[in-house]
């Protein structure tokens, strides 16, 4: 499973990509606004920090506008992945951009039918929003499982499932168990994946025993 960081915070990206555990980055208009930086400067800086896909989202609502903005974003760096909304106009733009050889991330997916359309349009990634479905009382993980089953039924569908709107470590675990290709994760959730109380307890015991020997490895 690939891990993408869901942030436009350059300090977070710089620190976590150094671990070698980050495969890409996703941004959206809200994250860009939160950063307080210019979108072109921000995306360029992120692309310098990772060789993986960096999702940069269009803001136009019509297909011609999305395509034009997509071209502008793709010009920033070779690893930009153009992010478009899962609307009819977005699907038209996805088809055009993917036919040109651009990576496209189709976002705001909330149904299996939507995911099937995104794959038919040639999306590189489709982003089902787990957390937002959970907020409405729907089990978001069921959508991941359904999309995986549908995609696996057809060899010609090679769109990757990018689990998005992840709220905690259980979302990551369940997405991996269901076969999502990618999880896009806030920095705090990625860091939390390593924690387990028994690991901390075991390490404390090891260190106590080691100190009692009076030895040093160096």
To the query of whether residue 188 is one of the catalytic residues in this protein, the response is: no
**CA-based Rg of the chain, rounded to a whole angstrom?**
20
Angle at 114 between CA 108 and CA 117, to 5 degrees: 120
Specify whether the CB–CB gap between 190 and 171 falls below 8 A.
no
Specify whether the CB–CB gap between 187 and 204 falls below 8 A.
no
Burial 192-212 (b: 16+ CB within 10 A, else e): eeeeeeeeeeeeeeeeeeeee
Which among 68, 83, 95, 201 is annotated as catalytic?
Answer: 83
Active site members: 83
């Amino acid at each position: 499973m690939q891990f993408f960081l869901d942030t436009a915070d350059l300090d977070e990206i710089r620190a976590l990509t150094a671990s070698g555990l980050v495969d890409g980055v996703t941004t959206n208009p809200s994250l860009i606004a939160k950063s307080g930086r210019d979108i072109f400067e921000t995306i360029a800086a992120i692309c310098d920090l990772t060789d993986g896909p960096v999702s940069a989202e269009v803001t136009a609502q019509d297909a011609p506008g999305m395509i034009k903005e997509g071209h502008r974003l793709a010009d920033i760096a070779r690893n930009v992945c153009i992010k478009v909304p899962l609307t009819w106009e977005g699907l038209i733009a996805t088809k055009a951009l993917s036919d040109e050889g651009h990576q496209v991330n189709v976002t705001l997916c909330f149904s299996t039918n939507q995911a099937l359309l995104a794959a038919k349009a040639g999306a590189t990634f489709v982003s089902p929003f787990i957390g937002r479905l959970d907020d409405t009382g729907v089990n978001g993980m069921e959508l991941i499982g359904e999309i995986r089953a549908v995609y696996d039924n057809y060899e010609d569908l090679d769109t990757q499932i990018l689990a998005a709107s992840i709220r905690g470590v259980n979302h990551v675990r369940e997405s991996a168990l269901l076969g999502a290709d990618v999880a896009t994760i806030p920095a705090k959730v990625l860091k939390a994946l390593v924690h387990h109380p028994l690991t901390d307890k075991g390490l404390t015991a090891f260190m106590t025993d080691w100190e009692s020997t009076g030895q040093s490895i160096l």
